[in-house]
């Protein structure tokens, strides 16, 4: 294992409603970026308030931090977290080829959904707006396909697909190290290197996909992501820059 990264704290809990909720409760008391890991979550959630199933032995953690950039820049840390997850998974399996990154915030293994990322922020009484990056990984068990919406990718777990057995604490250490490395790149050099690295690991780049926004559904070719992290979709009506959507293959 690599040494825990300097400048980052950690809290490990037996049980909590949600690591994202715990991050919000602790945000005003934490002076440094801090990882919060829970072995059990009783009220976990995913994007748009969807339930997040967490079988025992899986990974659930949130990184809370206080970035000083505009909201549009802060939001790009979903790509930083995706790259950190990818590297941590390669570190614990010794393999890169089974993994891919699905826009905007999922990690795939052999084409199934292995991990998800959720960013949240809220203004504190002192006027600051901490960022919380929630991460869930199916380390040892995957939720039932019945627990996901129709058309979504089937969940998979790391142990069944690769034979790699890793504890949540071991995975947290790998993830914290890789996140610190990518965070340093992001704050030092901007989004360009992060964007290039993310595209090199992107699922279905150059292929047809379906993007469902709140009000519309678009079919087209996944061309790239732009300098703001938007999905660029080439459709019969032209190129569309999509800031937020659910993507289906």
Confidence of residue 13 (pLDDT cuts 50, 70, 90): very high
Contact by Cβ (8 Å): 131, 119: yes
Measure CA 169 to chain center.
18
Confidence of residue 2 (pLDDT cuts 50, 70, 90): low
Nearest to 65 by CA among 105, 116, 7: 7
Report in angstroms the alpha-carbon separations of 218 from 97, 207, 214. Answer: 29, 14, 11
Q: What CATH architecture applies to the domain 208-248?
A: Roll (2.30)
Confidence of residue 46 (pLDDT cuts 50, 70, 90): low
Q: Assess whether pLDDT exceeds 70 at residue 79.
A: yes
Residues belonging to the chain: 249
| Percent share of the chain, pLDDT over 90 | 82
Average pLDDT of the residues of the chain: 92
Please give the pLDDT value at position 126: 73
- What tens digit of pLDDT does each residue of 136-185 get? 999 999 987 766 666 679 999 999 999 999 999 999 999 999 999 999 99
If you write DSSP's letter for every residue of 128-175 in order, what string do you get? ---EEEEEEE-SS----GGGS-TTSPPB--HHHHH-----HHHHHHHH
Report in angstroms the alpha-carbon separations of 89 from 65, 99, 153, 165, 239. Answer: 23, 8, 19, 11, 33
Please give the pLDDT value at position 149: 66
Q: Kindly report, as residue ranges, where domains of CATH 3.30.930.10 are found in the chain.
A: 9-200
pTM above 0.75, yes or no: yes
- What tens digit of pLDDT does each residue of 60-73 get? 999 999 999 999 99
Strand order in the sheet with 217-225: 238-242, 231-235, 217-225, 208-212, 246-248
* Burial class of residue 204, CB neighbours in 10 A (0-12, 13-18, 19+): middle
- What tens digit of pLDDT does each residue of 92-111 get? 999 999 999 999 999 999 99
Mean pLDDT calculated for residue range 207-211: 97
Please give the pLDDT value at position 216: 92
Q: Kindly report, as residue ranges, where domains of CATH 2.30.30.100 are found in the chain.
A: 208-248
Whether CATH 3.30.930.10 fits 9-200: yes
């Amino acid at each position: 294992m690599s040494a825990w990264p300097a400048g980052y704290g950690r809290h490990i809990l037996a049980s909590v409603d949600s690591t994202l909720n715990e991050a919000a409760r602790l945000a005003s008391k934490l002076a440094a970026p801090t990882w919060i890991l829970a072995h059990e979550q009783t009220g976990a959630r995913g994007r748009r308030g969807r339930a997040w199933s967490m079988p025992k032995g899986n990974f659930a953690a949130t990184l809370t931090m206080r970035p000083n950039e505009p909201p549009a820049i802060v939001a790009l840390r979903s790509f930083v977290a995706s790259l950190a997850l990818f590297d941590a998974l390669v570190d614990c399996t010794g393999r890169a080829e089974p993994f891919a990154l699905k826009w905007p915030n999922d990690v795939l293994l052999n084409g199934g959904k292995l991990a998800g990322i959720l960013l949240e922020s809220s203004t504190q009484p002192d006027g600051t707006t901490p960022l919380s990056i929630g991460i869930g990984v199916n380390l040892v068990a995957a939720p039932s396909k019945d627990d996901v919406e129709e058309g979504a990718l089937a969940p998979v777990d790391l142990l069944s697909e690769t034979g790699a057995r890793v504890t949540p604490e071991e995975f947290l250490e790998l993830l914290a190290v890789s996140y610190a490395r990518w965070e340093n790149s992001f704050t030092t050099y901007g989004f360009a290197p992060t964007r290039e690295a993310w595209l090199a690991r992107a699922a279905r780049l150059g292929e047809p996909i379906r993007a469902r926004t709140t009000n519309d559904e678009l079919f087209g070719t996944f061309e790239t992501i732009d300098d703001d992290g938007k999905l660029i979709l080439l459709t019969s009506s032209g190129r569309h820059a999509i800031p937020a959507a659910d993507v289906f293959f």
